[in-house]
A and B are shown apart, each in its own frame.
Chain A
C-alpha cells in the first residue's frame, strides 16, 4: 500500500460576507496517496476550488479556514507560517489554474517563470543556469522549438502553449502533489486532449500525486483513479472511478451522470436534475441535496453521515444508510 501524501480532515472554510456567512467548504475529509490521481467533481459553487486553495492556506479575506487539519507528508500545513508555506508552494505542492493567461506575468518570458521557480527553491542556482533547465522542461511538455520559445512573452503564445508553460513551471521542482484546477476548461477539445496526455505522462514519470478539479465527467473518466463528488460544500460520494461510474449510489451523482450527453451513446431523453444549486447563505436543512432529490423523505431533514456502503465506496445518503440508523 502506498503512503498517504495528503490528509484533509474536517476542513471548513467560511466566507464572512456582508450578506451572511457562506459555508463554502463545510467539513470535508479525504486523503491522497502517493502517485494517485484524485478528482474533485461538482458544479459551480460546490466548494471544489476553495478546497484546493485551502490545501496551501491560500484563502483570502473574507474567507477563513475555521476548522480542520491538513497533513502534508505528516506536517500540519495550517500550523505553518508564511515563510514555511512558501517553501512548500511551488516546490512540493504546485498549482495549475484554469486560465493560463493570468498565471503568467506578461512582463516576463515564459522561460523566466520556469527558471524563477527553480532558482527560488534551490540554493546556488542562478536564473541563467535555470533557463537551460527550462528548455528541457519545455521539451518535456512538447512545446515545439523550445530553445526559442523560452524567450517568448506570454502574449506571443497561444492558450495551449501558455498552459504547457504553466505545466512546465509546475513540474520544475518535481512536486509531490500537483493541484490542477480546471486545467483545460479554457482550451479547445483537441488541445485539451493534448494537455491531458501530457499531465498523465508526467504524473507517471515523476510519481507525483494529482488532485484534479473539474466539472467534466469525461475528464474524470480519463484521468483519475478515485473520484470525490461534492455538492454545496460537502462530499456526497467517494469511490474508485470505475466503481463510481458503474454503481453511483448518491442521487446527485446519479443525476449528474445521467445529465451529461454522451457522444458515444444516442439517448432519446436526457435526464436532468430539477431545480438549482442552493443559495450558500441559506443552506437547506439536513441533507443539502434534499430540495432537488427525487427520493427525499422526512428523515432527510437530518443530515446523513458518510458511510462505507461498499468496500472503499463512501456515500452520505439516507437511502444507503438504512441499516445503520442513528
Chain B
C-alpha cells in the first residue's frame, strides 16, 4: 500500500454574495470536505455542476485560499506556506483545465508557452529547445509545432499542449479538472490513455475532477462523490460501481446512459426526481433529503456524519448510521 501524498481535512470555502450594501449571504461551495490521495493513484471527484468539485481542485493547490481546514501535501502544511516554500509547492503540483481554448495564451507560441513555467521557477536547462521538443514529443506533437500559435491547433492538440506545460516542471500531483469534457470521444480516449501512461512512468498522482462516470471507471482508483459542497461517499472504484451505498451515488449511477442497448433497456430504472437546490440556501439536515427516496424524519433535521461502513468505504447517510 502506498503512502498518502495529499491529505485534506475539513476543507471549507464560502463565497460571499454581495448585495447592494451588505453581504447577503454565503455560497457554501465547499463545506467540510476531507479526503486522502495516495501516492501514484488517482482519486476522482465526481459530482454535478455546482457541487464544488472544481473549487476543491483549486483549493488544494492554493489557487484560491480556503477559509478553514487543513491541506497536507507530502507532510507539509500547505496553508502556512509562504514565498520560496510556496513556490516550491507550486513546482511540485500542477493543474490541467477543462477548456484548452482559454488556458493557452493566444499571443504566445507553443515554445513560449512550454518554457514559461521553467522561467517562472528559474530553472536553467541547457538546450532549452531540446527539452521543450522532448515534452512535445511525449504528448504526441513534435519540433515542427514549436513556433506555431494555439489557434493553429485542434481542441485535442491544445489539451496535449496544456498537459505538456504541466509536465514541464515534473510535478508529483496534478489536478485534472474535466480535462476531456470538451473533446470528442475518439480524442478523449487518446488523452486518457496518455494520462494513464504518464502516471505509470512518472509515478504521478492525480486528482481527477469529472462528472463522467465512464471516464471515472477507466481512470480512477478511488472515487469521492460530492453533492452540494460535501462529500457523501468515498470508496474504491469497483466498490462504488458494485456496491454504492448513498442514495445520491445510486441515483448518479442510474442516470448514466450506458453505451450498450441490451443493458440500457433491461436495467431497472429508478424514477429520478428533482434538481440540486441552490448552494446559497442548502436544505437543512442532509442536503440530499428533498430528492432522496428514502428520506426519514432525522434526515430533515440533522446532518449525517461520515462513517466507515466497511474498510475503505465511508458514507454519510442516516440509513447506515446505527443509533
The residues of A with any CB-CB pair to B shorter than 8 Å are 43-44, 158, 160-161, 188-194, 196-197, 215-222, 241-242, 245, 255-267, 269-274, 276-277
Are A256 and B272 in touch, CB under 8 angstroms?
no
B64 interfacial contact with A, CB 8 Å? no
Minimum Cβ distance to chain B for residue A166 (Å): 16
Q: Which of B186, B218, B252, B273 contacts A189 (CB 8 A)?
A: B252
Mostly helix, strand, loop or mixed at chain B's interface? helix
Q: How large is the interface on B (under 10, 10 to 19, 20 to 34, 35 or more residues)?
A: 35 or more
Write 29 A-B pairs (CB below 8 A) sorted by A numbering: A43-B185, A189-B48, A189-B211, A192-B257, A193-B272, A194-B272, A194-B273, A215-B184, A216-B257, A218-B259, A220-B259, A221-B265, A222-B265, A242-B261, A256-B185, A256-B186, A260-B214, A261-B215, A262-B214, A263-B241, A263-B253, A264-B217, A266-B218, A267-B218, A270-B193, A272-B187, A273-B186, A274-B190, A276-B156
Q: Which of A160, A216, A270 contacts B275 (CB 8 A)?
A: A160
Contacts of B255 in A (CB 8 A): 189-190, 192-193
Are A261 and B217 in touch, CB under 8 angstroms?
yes
Are B241 and A277 in touch, CB under 8 angstroms?
no
Contacts of A271 in B (CB 8 A): 189
Are B272 and A190 in touch, CB under 8 angstroms?
yes
8 pairs of A and B residues whose beta carbons are closest in the complex: A218-B257, A272-B189, A261-B214, A193-B255, A259-B189, A273-B186, A43-B184, A188-B48
Contacts of B157 in A (CB 8 A): 276
Q: Give Cα A102–Cα B185 distance, bound, in whole angstroms.
A: 26
Q: Give Cα A263–Cα B219 distance, bound, in whole angstroms.
A: 11
Q: Give Cα A28–Cα B139 distance, bound, in whole angstroms.
A: 36
Minimum Cβ distance to chain B for residue A248 (Å): 12
Contacts of B265 in A (CB 8 A): 221-222
Contacts of A272 in B (CB 8 A): 186-187, 189-190, 193
The residues of B with any CB-CB pair to A shorter than 8 Å are 48-49, 154, 156-157, 184-190, 192-193, 211-218, 237-238, 241, 251-265, 269, 272-273, 275-276
Are B185 and A260 in touch, CB under 8 angstroms?
yes
Are A43 and B256 in touch, CB under 8 angstroms?
no
- Which residue of B is nearest A270, CB measured? B189
Contacts of A258 in B (CB 8 A): 189
- Which residue of A is nearest B251, CB measured? A190
Contacts of B218 in A (CB 8 A): 261, 266-267, 270
Contacts of B154 in A (CB 8 A): 276-277
Are A191 and B275 in touch, CB under 8 angstroms?
yes
Contacts of A269 in B (CB 8 A): 193
User: For B187, B213, B253, which residue has the most chain A Cβ atoms within 10 angstroms?
Assistant: B187
Q: Give Cα A277–Cα B155 distance, bound, in whole angstroms.
A: 11
Known: A188-B211, A221-B265, A222-B261. 13 other contacts (CB 8 A): A43-B184, A161-B275, A188-B48, A188-B276, A189-B256, A194-B272, A196-B257, A222-B257, A259-B186, A263-B216, A276-B154, A276-B156, A277-B154
- Which residue of B is nearest A194, CB measured? B272
Minimum Cβ distance to chain B for residue A184 (Å): 9
Q: Give Cα A117–Cα B96 distance, bound, in whole angstroms.
A: 45
User: For B217, B237, B260, B265, which residue has the most chain A Cβ atoms within 10 angstroms?
Assistant: B260
Contacts of B193 in A (CB 8 A): 269-270, 272
Are B211 and A241 in touch, CB under 8 angstroms?
no
Q: Which of A44, A161, A218 contacts B264 (CB 8 A)?
A: A218
- Which residue of B is nearest A191, CB measured? B275
Are B189 and A221 in touch, CB under 8 angstroms?
no
- Which residue of B is nearest A260, CB measured? B259
- Which residue of B is nearest A276, CB measured? B154
Minimum Cβ distance to chain B for residue A137 (Å): 19
Are B259 and A262 in touch, CB under 8 angstroms?
yes
- Which residue of B is nearest A184, CB measured? B257
- Which residue of A is nearest B192, CB measured? A270
Contacts of B185 in A (CB 8 A): 43, 215, 217, 256, 259-260
- Which residue of B is nearest A274, CB measured? B190
Minimum Cβ distance to chain A for residue B160 (Å): 11
Contacts of B216 in A (CB 8 A): 263
User: For A43, A259, A264, which residue has the most chain B Cβ atoms within 10 angstroms?
Assistant: A264
- Which residue of B is nearest A142, CB measured? B273
Minimum Cβ distance to chain A for residue B268 (Å): 13
Q: Give Cα A153–Cα B213 distance, bound, in whole angstroms.
A: 33
Contacts of A257 in B (CB 8 A): 259
Contacts of B262 in A (CB 8 A): 242, 245
Are B190 and A277 in touch, CB under 8 angstroms?
no
Are B186 and A43 in touch, CB under 8 angstroms?
yes
Are B189 and A273 in touch, CB under 8 angstroms?
yes
User: For A44, A188, A258, which residue has the most chain B Cβ atoms within 10 angstroms?
Assistant: A188
Contacts of A193 in B (CB 8 A): 254-257, 272
Contacts of B273 in A (CB 8 A): 194
Contacts of A260 in B (CB 8 A): 185, 189, 214, 259
Minimum Cβ distance to chain B for residue A130 (Å): 27
Contacts of B258 in A (CB 8 A): 218, 221-222, 262-264
